[in-house]
Chains A and B, each alone.
Chain A
Amino acid sequence: MNELPKWAEVVLVPLMSLLLAAVLSGLVILAIGESPLGAFQLMVQGALGSTYGWGYTLYYATNFIFTGLAVAVAFHARLFNIGGEGQAILGGLGVAFVCLYIPWPHWSLAIVGATIGAALFGAAWAFLPALLQAKRGSHIVITTIMFNFMAAALLNYLLIGLLKPAGSMDTATAKFPPATHLPSFQDMFSTADNIMFRGAPANVSFFVAIMACIAVWILLWHTRLGYEIRAFGHAESAAKYAGISPTKIIMISMMISGALAGMMAINNVMGEAERLILGSVEGAGFIGIAVALMGRNHPIGIFIAAILFGFLYQGGAELALWTAIPRELIVVIQALVILFTGALDNMVRMPLKKLFRLFRRTEPAGV
Chain B
Amino acid sequence: MTNPAPALELIGICKAFGPVQANKNISIRVMPGTIHGIIGENGAGKSTLMSILYGFYKADAGEIYVAGRKTLIPDSQAAISAGIGMVFQHFKLVENFTVLENLILGAEDGFMLGKSISKARRLLKSLSEDYGLDVDPDAKIEDIGVGMRQRVEILKALYRQADILILDEPTGTLTPAEADQLFRILGRLKDEGKTIVLITHKLREIMDVTDTVSVMRAGEMAATVKTSEVSPPELAEIMVGRKVLLSVVKEPATPGPKMLEVRDLKVVDNYGVERLKGATFDVRAGEILGIAGVAGNGQSELLEALAGYRKATGSVKYKGNNVDLSGVVSNAMGRRTDGIAHVPEDRQSEGLIMDFMAWENIALGYHLDPEYRNGMLIDNGAIREDTNQKMDRFDVRPQASQLEVKNFSGGNQQKIVLAREIERNPDLLLIGQPTRGVDIGAIEFIHKQIVALRDQGKAILLVSVELDEILSLSDRIAVMFDGRIMGERDPKETDEGELGLMMAGMTRGAA
Q: Which residues of A contact B (CB under 8 A)?
A: 1, 3, 218, 221-224, 226-228, 230-231, 234-235, 237-238, 240-246, 360-361, 365-367
Contacts and interface: CB of A to CB of B under 8 A. Distances in A.
Contact of A241 (B344, B355, B368): B344
Given A223-B376, A365-B21, A231 B353 contact: yes
A244 B19 CA distance: 38
B330 A245 contact: yes
B377 A218 contact: yes
B380 A243 contact: no
Contacts of B360: 227
Contacts of A226: 378
Interface in B418-470: none
B364 A238 contact: yes
Most chain A beta carbons < 10 A, residue from B308, B344, B368: B368
Contacts of A222: 377-378, 380
Nearest to B16: A365
Contact of B365 (A218, A223, A243): A243
A367 B19 contact: yes
Nearest to A246: B329
A294 B336 CA distance: 40
B377 A243 contact: no
A365 B373 CA distance: 41
Contacts of B332: 240-243
A245 B298 CA distance: 24
A141 B93 CA distance: 29
Interface string B346-385: 1001111111100010011101100001001110100000
B342 interface: yes
Interface residues of B, number: 40
B271 interface: no
List the 10 closest A-B pairs by CB distance, nearest first.
A243-B333, A243-B332, A242-B365, A241-B350, A245-B329, A235-B353, A234-B353, A222-B377, A242-B364, A237-B349
A220 to B, nearest CB: 11
B447 to A, nearest CB: 23
Contacts of B336: 243
B127 to A, nearest CB: 35
A227 B18 CA distance: 31
Contacts of B355: 234-235
A293 B332 CA distance: 34
B331 interface: yes
Nearest to A244: B329
Contacts of B335: 243
B60 interface: yes
Contact of B329 (A227, A243, A367): A243
Contact of B373 (A218, A224, A231, A246): A224
A231 B378 contact: no
A106 B21 CA distance: 66
Given A227-B378, A367-B19, A234 B333 contact: no
B54 interface: no
A245 B365 CA distance: 11
B56 to A, nearest CB: 11
B342 A241 contact: yes
Contact of B367 (A1, A242, A365): A242
Interface in B316-340: 328-336
A234 B349 contact: no
Contacts of A230: 356
A240 B363 contact: no
Contacts of A245: 328-330
Nearest to B350: A241
B306 interface: no
A242 B309 CA distance: 9
B309 A241 contact: yes
Interface in B1-60: 16-19, 21, 60
Interface string B249-285: 0000000000000000000000000000000000000
Most chain B beta carbons < 10 A, residue from A218, A224, A234: A224
Contacts of B60: 361
Contacts of B342: 241
Nearest to A225: B378
Contact of B350 (A228, A234, A238, A360): A238
Contacts of A242: 332-333, 364-365, 367
B416 interface: no
B329 A231 contact: no
Most chain A beta carbons < 10 A, residue from B60, B350, B354, B367: B367
A244 B308 CA distance: 12
Nearest to A361: B60
Contact of B18 (A3, A241, A244, A246): A3
Nearest to A221: B380
A228 B349 CA distance: 16
Contact of A360 (B18, B333, B368): B18
B100 interface: no
28 contacts: A3-B18, A218-B377, A222-B378, A223-B376, A223-B377, A223-B378, A224-B367, A224-B373, A224-B378, A231-B356, A234-B353, A235-B350, A235-B354, A237-B349, A238-B352, A238-B364, A241-B309, A241-B342, A241-B350, A241-B365, A242-B364, A243-B309, A243-B331, A244-B329, A246-B329, A365-B19, A365-B21, A366-B19
A218 B60 CA distance: 44
Given A240-B332, A243-B365, 14 more contacts: A224-B368, A224-B378, A227-B367, A234-B355, A237-B349, A238-B353, A241-B309, A241-B332, A242-B332, A242-B364, A242-B367, A243-B332, A243-B334, A243-B336
B132 to A, nearest CB: 38
A342 B244 CA distance: 51
